[in-house]
Amino acid sequence: MMAYVLRRLLYAIPILIGVNLLTFWLFFFVNSPDDMARMHLGMKRVTPAAIAQWKEARGFDKPLLLNREAAGVEKLTDTIFFRHSLRLFVFDFGRAEDNRDIRREIGERMGPSLAIALPSFLVGLLTYVSFALLLVFFRASYVDVWGVVLCVVLMSISTMFYVIGGQYLIGKLWSLVPISGYGDDGPGAIRFLLLPMAVGIAAAVGLRTRLYRTFFLEEINKDYVRTARAKGLNEWRVLFVHVLRNALIPILTGVVVVIPALFLGSLILESFFGIPGLGSYTIDAIHAQDFFVVRAMVFLGSVLYIVGLILTDISYMLVDPRVRLY
Amino acid sequence: MVPHILWTDVLIYLLLAVIAGFAVYASRHEHLRTPWRQVTRRPMAMGALVVLLAFVAVGLLDSVHYRPRLPGSATQTSSEVRSALDALLSPLRRRTEKTYSAPFATHAHGRETVLRPDGALARAYPRLLHGGAHLTDGESRLADILVKVATATGTVLLLWLPLAAWVAWRQRSPGDGWAGGWQRLWRGESELPWRTLLLTLVVLLAAIANLAWLSAYYHVLGTDQVGQDVLLKSLKSVRTGLVIGTLTTLVMLPFALFFGILAGYARGLIDDVIQYVYTTLSSIPDVLLIAAGVLSLQVYMAHHPETFDNVTTRADWRLLFLCLILGLTSWTGLCRLLRGEVLKLREADYVLAARSLGASHFAIMARHLLPNVMHIVLIAVVLDFSGLVLAEAVLSYIGVGVDPTMDSWGNMINGARLEMAREPMVWWTLGAAFLFMFTLVLAANLFADAVRDAFDPRLRR
């Protein structure tokens, strides 16, 4: 298995170079560094000297890909691509527009993101699976039919409405929890997390319940289920032990891949609820047109996605002894 | 009046042509006719289709653009681009208030300093310029609204009943009278789900009639900060939602089809390269890739103002680009599905037969493989639609969606966030966006489910 993981990790390198090239092309070819300098210094009445200074401060006065004036290896290394894009590989993200170190910022903001994303992920998964099994338990009855209709209705509502509705009802009208904010003083901080968690879970409940229901229904007519019932097991045990275990593979396909990316947090939830995590960091960067932060997040996101894919394969092996990785 | 064709308009017409072509093709092939017939038998799907068609009609009306002539000039045209929908709704556009007003309000939402008849200044809620302006003081607003609702609904019912009767007449079995036809219709025993179709139609028509009739006297969904009618904004947003939902798939489809089939058919190095490209693209989180793309576009547009001379043109370019970049992110999923399917199909007997008869590789891909993966494409297209409409709202909120000057539900929601914090609360912009978006997405979801059930061979009974 180690060989498999190692090979997959090596295979990730060309993909990450591709990601790098793409963002590099978007940020440096579509727009020249001059354009970016003007954007940040103000559109009008920018002196060429100011632009040159801006570029020099950030090391953008070098050629993009190939430095013809340099000698030897420096032809390739003394360029913007090498100095800025390839450094991402050692997680050196450089500095943001406001001159703060992006890597440190990411390290600080990971905690809040994780504090909200991890519990909602776990509680959410439990909720969706339970609801789906409930629908399957009542399959081909009115509970099932109307349950599915309700799922379709719920998934037709935009996440934004769940957030705004939740904030208004629970936060403002009933005053159960604070509308937004974040505290890191231990137990007291939980009340800030309850609402975003509930909203995050509710927003996906329709889609995921319906999806898992189809996974379970695909298993329900198989021989082993009949055998289990014939043994005299009750329906709950059949569903929660036998069917659930066998339906794990399709469920894991969509679930495990997002686990590493939980660090990145949710853009919408964090910005609506004022949680100082990586999601709101990204949004702020987008609003401020901070290309460096966006580029760092793109790179980080791709890395975590690839790790997620590898984890998915490993999880297959764990739940299904027939799967071997090599 | 000079026709003015935007790029998205061109693509919308192209899409219509594609759909028409596909309809003709499907009607001539039994294996495509059967699943479509199955879709038409599903009551929910047909009801949803009626609603969808209403949205499409609004969107199409809003896709016929022109520049009005400047008054007093024979050749000069205004730089403002209008659509057929604008012309149709011009009364709504003209009837603007000063600022916020609630649905059906006759007085403004906020207090203002007004000059009383006796010359004194007072803080009061002033009368609206247009909303309920026909009412004299003391006349009941509720009675007026009820009379108008009753009139509009009654008129629609009068028009609808003959239609229903005609359908019932057509449904009667031989040797059976009217009563038999009605009974069949009412019990839902007809071949097409006429009961659902007729009921959806009457509800929809009544809603349209009521809105049209009432909005001539009131602001049915209120007005926004600059006093513009929210109903108008919601209707103008329909096109944006539809364009994002449909054009995105239209622009990505050729790539997904070509590369997906090619990768599966050619295998080897070509397969590796194509797989590398889509793995790279799909490894970037969608929102971030879109953000990166739109940020670059913003800078590009800021530095090339001469290409985007007009507000409408600029917004249109941005919309088109958003479709492109959304298509770039959603392209990979379909491509992977197609590759997998073609890998299976290329071993099929008919491919072998075609090859031994001397068919070229291109002919095999285009004539034999393409038609056999079309069901996957169709399912992907209809399932993607509602997700894309929802994504527009999120992207506009993040600030990488459509142009801020463009009417869209995302922009409405984004603006409404601050309005919700006002005291007293301004809820109707959010409510209107919710109403329209929810109706469209729900209808699309219901229709897409029926299409998937009919076309997915694994689900076919």
Distance linking the first and last C-alpha atoms of chain A: 6
Band of pLDDT at residue B459, cut at 50, 70 and 90: low
Residue pair B41/B191 in contact (Cβ under 8 Å)? The answer is yes
Cα–Cα dist B196/B12, whole Å: 29
- The two structure tokens encoding residue B255: 């790539």
Name the residue type at position A80: I
Question: Is the pLDDT reported for residue B248 higher than 60?
Answer: yes
| Amino acid A223: pLDDT | 92
Average pLDDT rounded to a whole number, residues B168-180: 75
- Residue B440 scores a pLDDT above 80: yes
* pLDDT tens sequence across A126-142: 999 999 999 999 988 99
Complex prediction ipTM: 0.86
| Chain B touched by A30 (CB under 8 Å) | yes
- Chain A contact probe: residue of B44, B55, B287, B429 with most A CBs at under 10 A: B287
Q: What is the Cα–Cα distance from B202 to B445, expressed in whole angstroms?
A: 21
Round the average pLDDT of chain B to a whole number and report it. Answer: 86
In B97-210, DSSP assigns E strands to 112-115, 121-124
Contact A283 B276 (CB under 8 A): no
Its pTM stands at 0.90
- Mean pLDDT confidence for B355-381: 89
- The CA radius of gyration of chain A, in Å to the nearest whole number, is 25
Categorize the per-residue pLDDT at A185 as very low, low, confident or very high, splitting at 50, 70 and 90.
Answer: low
Long-range contacts of the stretch A187-192 (C-beta < 8 A, 24+):
A189/A115, A192/A273, A192/A275
pLDDT band at B243, cuts 50/70/90? very high
Least confident range of A69-83, A232-246, B257-271: A69-83
User: What are φ and ψ of residue A35, in 5° steps?
Assistant: -60, -45
Kindly list the residues from chain A whose CB atom is less than 8 angstroms away from the CB atom of residue B437: 158
Chain segment B273-299, per-residue pLDDT in tens: 999 998 888 888 888 888 888 888 887
Nearest-CA distance A250 → chain B (Å): 16
CA distance B248 to chain A (A): 19
Quote the CA–CA distance of A188 and B146 in Å, as a whole number. 52
% of chain B beyond a pLDDT of 70: 98
Contact criterion met (CB < 8 Å) for B292 and A27: yes
pLDDT, tens digit, for every residue of B377-390? 888 888 889 999 99
Residue B261 has pLDDT above 90, yes or no: yes
Closest alpha carbon to B393 in B436, B349, B444: B436
Contacts of B295 in chain A (CB under 8 A): 286, 289, 291, 294
Are A168 and B449 an interchain contact pair (Cβ–Cβ within 8 Å)? no
- Is A152 in CB contact (< 8 Å) with chain B? yes
Do B373 and B261 contact (CB within 8 A), yes or no? yes
3 state SS of B247 = helix
pLDDT, residue B460, reads: 56
Instruction: Determine whether the interchain pair A294/B291 forms a contact, defined as Cβ–Cβ distance below 8 Å.
Output: yes
Higher pLDDT, residue B87 or A28: B87
Give the pLDDT of residue A116: 86
What span, in angstroms and rounded, lies between the C-alpha atoms of B410 and B401?
A: 8
Give B-chain residues touching A26 at CB under 8 angstroms: 292-293, 296
Question: What is the model's pLDDT at position B461?
Answer: 47
What average pLDDT score do residues A173-197 get?
A: 77
What's the pLDDT score for residue A121? 92
Enclosing H/E stretch for B53: helix B43-61
Grouping H, G, I as helix, E, B as strand and the rest as coil, residue A326 is coil
How many CB contacts within 8 angstroms connect chain A with chain B?
Answer: 120
- Please provide the size of chain B in residues: 461
Please give the distance of CA A87 from its chain centroid, rounded to a whole number.
Answer: 23
Q: What average pLDDT does the segment B242-247 reach?
A: 92
Dmax over Cα atoms in chain B, in whole Å? 99
Strand order in the sheet with B2-3: B2-3, B65-67, B82-83
pLDDT-based confidence at residue A43 (cuts at 50, 70, 90): low
CA-to-CA dists, residue B377 to A230, B68, B257, B314, B382, angstroms: 42, 41, 8, 31, 9
Indicate yes or no: CB of A283 within 8 angstroms of CB of B399.
Answer: yes
CB atoms within 10 A of CB B378: 20
Per-residue pLDDT, averaged over B157-169, amounts to 87
Given a contact cutoff of 8 angstroms between Cβ atoms, the answer to whether B193 and B42 are in contact is yes
pLDDT tens for B195-212 read: 888 899 999 999 999 988
Residue B56 scores a pLDDT above 90: yes
Question: What Rg do the C-alpha atoms of chain B give, in angstroms?
Answer: 26
Structure tokens at A110: 């990971």
